[in-house]
Structure 1
Amino acid sequence: MRRVQRAAARGRPISAQALQQAVAEHDPGLGPCRIQGARVVGPVELSHRQLEFGLELVRCRFLGPVDLRGLSATSLDLSGSTVPALLADGLAVDGDVRLSGCVVGTRPGEPMALGTEAAVVRDAAQGPHRVAEPSAEAPLRLADARIAGSLAAEGLRLHSSGLWSVFAPRLRVDGAVQGRGLEATGAVYLRDARIAHAVYFNAAQVGGIDATGLSCGRGFYADWGFHSRGQILLRGAVVESVVTFHDATLAGPRGELILSRLMTPRLRLDLRDAPSGRVVLRDATVGALVDDASTWPAAGRLDIEGLVYRRLGSIAPLSVKDRLAWLALDREAGVSVFEQLAASYQTAGDERAVRTVRHARERHLRRGDRFTGRIWGAVQDVLFGYGYAPRRALLWLLALVAAGSGWFSVHAPAPVGGLGQRAFDPVLYCLDLLIPVVSLGYRSAFDPVGWDKAVAVFLIVSGWVLATAVISGASRALGRGP
């Protein structure tokens, strides 16, 4: 062990066999096995070893891959080291794993971006299949690894020639995953990972993240300068505190968020710029959704069908009309998105906004009607706002009474039979013509002729249309809830 340490201190290369022997001969009573600044020639083979001490290979340069598959140790520290490939499937560590400042992988070609045309967007679409794990290539592999502490990977740089830079399905971490400033030419695979605390990708630059089925006890932070060239997949993920993409950038043609079936108390989508691709929130369940209108996706690239939320927030205040414009970005959305928005305003106690949203819902429903249905819907909208603008009916009634009274005050009809038993009142006469069923006695007492009769018939028909629209709209509003 001392021979290896002296060679490392003098800058002399050591063989992989010498390093392996030094680890095998280390006395656990001396604490962790620490080798610093070594230049290691050849592939290092430490797989399936049971170490009762920590392994610290700090600021070393490995010229061959390091195989830690099935290794068991109390801690692992490779901070500042350079390694062509780190294979750690099935790794079991009782403490922390430190990869901060490491460079893993050889110099790559062009950066890769995660993206698939078969991503789940609508119910009928099929999602991408799981990656074939035995054949998946990545410079850093942590499949089925168990870490009792935290995984520290701040400033980690990953160079890969393929799609994946990190391949860690079913990773278990009892602490946090610290990936601040991580740089990866490919994507990060964390499908079905279980992180007890939080995942931090602040200011990271990656080719995408597949964290489908992720379970996270605190939060998922891809914010403050986070940059992705590919898809971010959090489908079916459960994050108990917050998922945030504040100040994040989703660049390139594949930069998009697929968050279908996500469950989290708080979701922040106030990105640095509008995403180039889609934002899919289908069937997600969110306590509070905070976004920024300036970074909404383009029309047709938002999927919010089945999205459930209790509260909506925004960086700048948004009116109910702004939120209706947000709903319109999902061109295939059904009426459920209107009901969800109305429910959020109902929770906030904004009854006026609730009526506005439900009015917009009725207009949305009428788009699918036949021509006659659309015509009748337009009449109800103009007269009564489908039951959600009751004052509009009163205004129409007053306008018709005023217009009719103005006409009949100049063109008074003759009394029936020529008898003047009832004094003519143009206002009451117009009200009697407009209000169906109920009679004030003026309609039968006077007999209009010519243009007067045409005006009277117009007022009678208008009264029936107005009454029918009011009854239809009111029954619809009452039948579908307040």
Structure 2
Amino acid sequence: MADQYSVRALSYDQLTSAERELSDAFPMGRQVDLRTGVPEDDRVAEGGQWGPGRTVRAAVIVALLQGANTAQSGAIACLRLAGGRISGRLNLAGAQIAHVLWFEDCWFEEGVDLSGASTQSIVIVASRVPGLEAGLTRVEGRIDLRRSRLESGSASPLHRKVTALSLINAHVSGAVNLNGAGIAAPEEWAVSAGGLVAEGGVYCQGGFVAHGELRFMEAQLPGGLHMRGALLKRPGQRGVALVLDNAVASTLDFSDRFTANGIVRLWGARVSDNVTFEGAVLNGPRDGQGPSLTASRMQSADFDFALARSPSGAVDLRGAQVSHLHDSRHSWPDVVELDGFVYGSIQRDEAGERREAVRQRDSVAHRVAWIRRSPGYSPQPYEQLASWYRKAGHDDDARRVLLAKQRHRRQTLHPAARVWGHLLDATVGYGYRPWLAGIWLLALTLLGTLSFGSHSPNPVKQGESAPFQPLVYTLDLLIPIGGPGQRTAWYWSNDSLQWLAYLLTAFGWVLATAVIAGVTRTLQKS
């Protein structure tokens, strides 16, 4: 064995007992277990105190993976180590690794560098690692970091930020498994995975906790991102907890008490199936100055936003497109950006039961109040909501929404236009309540008929006027064009009745103008 083995200047005889055991086991793929079996002695957090009997130099591991001890015939070499302390930096940058790496309950003195490497599966389970650099790495298998603790170490030469786990532009044919892991970089990037391709998806469940920002910008995740019950806390100074800008995924699962103490950012994310926040808690930044969720231009089939409680910060859905929206009474904060938000249907969650929101009591009032949470005025959210009501066969509700739109718009106009708007609203409901004109006409006709019927007017030309009819005379005043000619044949010596005649004529013109303007508005897109 000694004449076949060397690690740089080290011979087999210079290896420690633990290193020799690992070297002998490697060709056969056997696991070397250095654990004592005593829980107090095997705690990974105390791995810095493990002595030489449990210590393996990183250089020995590198040598084995680079062919220092070749596999035996009929066996598959694999580096499997449990309960060991790895001293020195495990530097495999750019290496071509044909074997699986498997570490369990291990304590790494320094970080692991796999940047630019091509390797089989990487398994570091229930271990402590001060930083894992795997940018540009190609993994034919999976990356498994279950229950491990990763901490930001020294700055990577490729990044100014200190990152606990870097997967920038890495390609993983399997899954990235972070279930139960803890990643700490409180003021920096806990995970930097921009451009990551993880065909089997990314899993951050089962007690996953991150101190710092998680970045998956432009990542491609055919297997989805699964963060059920994950906790993202103490983000950096910018207050961003999770970034998925322009990511492409099959699903984004932030359900089951997922908690983010910082901004969740999904700008331009494209999700083929569903984005779910069912039962999630979005606390927003610690200083309360930023949004809880910003998902502008996001695209998704289903968007489930039935949160456990209302977000502490604003929700930005500008330009987002979803086929189905699910919400609840806890979904929306005081500020919701909805300009350009397009959806095919809305379902509301009440008492654990979901149903179409159009069937719920006070649906229109609730949805209009939802739109009014947007700062400023924009017609698109109202038109989108009205379109949804029409598609559901609720035309009356659609008209109520469009009427609310005009009332909101009126608040943005100059005073004269606001006065005209109030007049349109009172007379014909901006054209969406034309029956109001009939009520006004009936009330004014009744007023005129009763008032004029108790007095006798004077004829303009004696003996040439048709008999005076109070009802006909009143209608003649209220109808601006045409008529039977009664208003021109009679006049009043009573000043009060003459002024009433003038007012009814003016009301007639105003009512006719309002009807024409209102009907025109309903035929045009204002």
Q: TM-score, normalised by structure 1?
A: 0.88
Q: Which residue of 1 aligns with 2:318?
A: 282
Relative to structure 1, the CA distance from residue 255 to residue 187 in structure 2 (aligned partners, 3 Å threshold; closer, same or farther) is farther
Q: Deviations over 1:190-229 (max 9, x none)?
A: 111111121111111113001111111x111112111111
Relative to structure 1, the CA distance from residue 263 to residue 133 in structure 2 (aligned partners, 3 Å threshold; closer, same or farther) is farther
> Displacement of 1:139 after TM fit?
1.1
- Structure 2 alignment gaps of length 5 or more: 1-18, 23-30, 37-52, 236-240, 351-359
Q: Which residue of 2 aligns with 1:114?
A: none
**What does residue range 4-19 of structure 1 map to in structure 2 within 5 Å?**
4=22, 6=32, 8-9=34-35, 12-19=54-61
The AA in structure 2 aligned to 1:343 is S
The AA in structure 1 aligned to 2:515 is V
Between the aligned partners of 1:258 and 1:89, the Cα distance in structure 2 is 27
> Displacement of 1:417 after TM fit?
4.3
Q: Which residue of 2 aligns with 1:49?
A: 95
> Displacement of 1:17 after TM fit?
2.5
The AA in structure 1 aligned to 2:265 is L
* Moved segments of 4+, more than 6 Å: none
Q: 2:62 aligns with which of 20, 24, 29?
A: 20
Q: Is residue 391 of structure 2 the alignment partner of residue 347 of structure 1?
A: yes
> Displacement of 1:6 after TM fit?
4.9
Q: Which residue of 2 aligns with 1:223?
A: 255
Q: Is residue 297 of structure 2 the alignment partner of residue 261 of structure 1?
A: yes
Q: Is residue 231 of structure 2 the alignment partner of residue 205 of structure 1?
A: yes
- Structure 1 alignment gaps of length 5 or more: 108-131
The AA in structure 2 aligned to 1:303 is E
Contact 1:9 / 1:37 at 8 angstroms: preserved in 2?
yes
Q: Which residue of 2 aligns with 1:295?
A: 331
Q: Which residue of 2 aligns with 1:469?
A: 514
**What does residue range 376-387 of structure 1 map to in structure 2 within 5 Å?**
376-387=420-431
Between the aligned partners of 2:486 and 2:225, the Cα distance in structure 1 is 78
Relative to structure 1, the CA distance from residue 302 to residue 396 in structure 2 (aligned partners, 3 Å threshold; closer, same or farther) is same
> Displacement of 1:302 after TM fit?
2.3
Q: Which residue of 2 aligns with 1:74?
A: 120
Q: Which residue of 2 aligns with 1:37?
A: 83
Relative to structure 1, the CA distance from residue 432 to residue 374 in structure 2 (aligned partners, 3 Å threshold; closer, same or farther) is same
Q: Which residue of 2 aligns with 1:167?
A: 192
> Displacement of 1:292 after TM fit?
2.6
Q: Is residue 151 of structure 2 the alignment partner of residue 89 of structure 1?
A: no
Relative to structure 1, the CA distance from residue 302 to residue 374 in structure 2 (aligned partners, 3 Å threshold; closer, same or farther) is same
> Displacement of 1:7 after TM fit?
6.6
Contact 1:335 / 1:364 at 8 angstroms: preserved in 2?
no
The AA in structure 1 aligned to 2:245 is T
Q: Is residue 278 of structure 2 the alignment partner of residue 246 of structure 1?
A: yes
Q: Which residue of 2 aligns with 1:310?
A: 344
Relative to structure 1, the CA distance from residue 477 to residue 62 in structure 2 (aligned partners, 3 Å threshold; closer, same or farther) is same
| Residue range with higher mean Cα deviation, 38-47 or 419-428 | 419-428
> Displacement of 1:438 after TM fit?
2.4
**What does residue range 85-234 of structure 1 map to in structure 2 within 5 Å?**
85-105=131-151, 134-180=159-205, 181-206=207-232, 207=235, 208-216=241-249, 218-234=250-266
Q: Which residue of 1 aligns with 2:379?
A: 335
Q: Which residue of 2 aligns with 1:272?
A: 308
> Displacement of 1:106 after TM fit?
6.7
Relative to structure 1, the CA distance from residue 285 to residue 324 in structure 2 (aligned partners, 3 Å threshold; closer, same or farther) is same
Contact 1:7 / 1:13 at 8 angstroms: preserved in 2?
no
Relative to structure 1, the CA distance from residue 255 to residue 340 in structure 2 (aligned partners, 3 Å threshold; closer, same or farther) is closer
Between the aligned partners of 2:493 and 2:279, the Cα distance in structure 1 is 73
Q: Which residue of 1 aligns with 2:8?
A: none
Contact 2:306 / 2:328 at 8 angstroms: preserved in 1?
yes
Between the aligned partners of 2:125 and 2:102, the Cα distance in structure 1 is 8
Q: Which has the higher strand share?
A: 2
Q: Which residue of 1 aligns with 2:474?
A: 430
Between the aligned partners of 2:513 and 2:132, the Cα distance in structure 1 is 75
Between the aligned partners of 2:416 and 2:131, the Cα distance in structure 1 is 69
Between the aligned partners of 1:7 and 1:102, the Cα distance in structure 2 is 18
Q: Which residue of 2 aligns with 1:3?
A: 21
* SS in structure 2 of the partner of residue 158 of structure 1: strand
Between the aligned partners of 1:414 and 1:333, the Cα distance in structure 2 is 55
Larger relative contact order (CA 8 Å, sep ≥ 6): 1
* SS in structure 2 of the partner of residue 78 of structure 1: strand
Contact 1:304 / 1:333 at 8 angstroms: preserved in 2?
no
Between the aligned partners of 1:367 and 1:296, the Cα distance in structure 2 is 24
Q: Deviations over 1:381-424 (max 9, x none)?
A: 11111111111110111111111122122224345545497444
Q: Which residue of 2 aligns with 1:124?
A: none
> Displacement of 1:31 after TM fit?
5.2
Between the aligned partners of 1:449 and 1:230, the Cα distance in structure 2 is 78
Percent of pairs with identical residues: 31
| Residue range with higher mean Cα deviation, 312-321 or 43-52 | 312-321
> Displacement of 1:46 after TM fit?
2.4
Between the aligned partners of 1:74 and 1:26, the Cα distance in structure 2 is 16
Contact 1:8 / 1:14 at 8 angstroms: preserved in 2?
no
* SS in structure 1 of the partner of residue 125 of structure 2: coil
Count of matched residue pairs: 454
Between the aligned partners of 1:401 and 1:162, the Cα distance in structure 2 is 75
Q: Which residue of 1 aligns with 2:357?
A: none
Once superposed, what is the RMSD of the aligned Cα atoms? 2.3
Relative to structure 1, the CA distance from residue 285 to residue 343 in structure 2 (aligned partners, 3 Å threshold; closer, same or farther) is same
Between the aligned partners of 1:43 and 1:196, the Cα distance in structure 2 is 33
Between the aligned partners of 1:106 and 1:211, the Cα distance in structure 2 is 21
> Displacement of 1:305 after TM fit?
1.8
The AA in structure 1 aligned to 2:217 is R
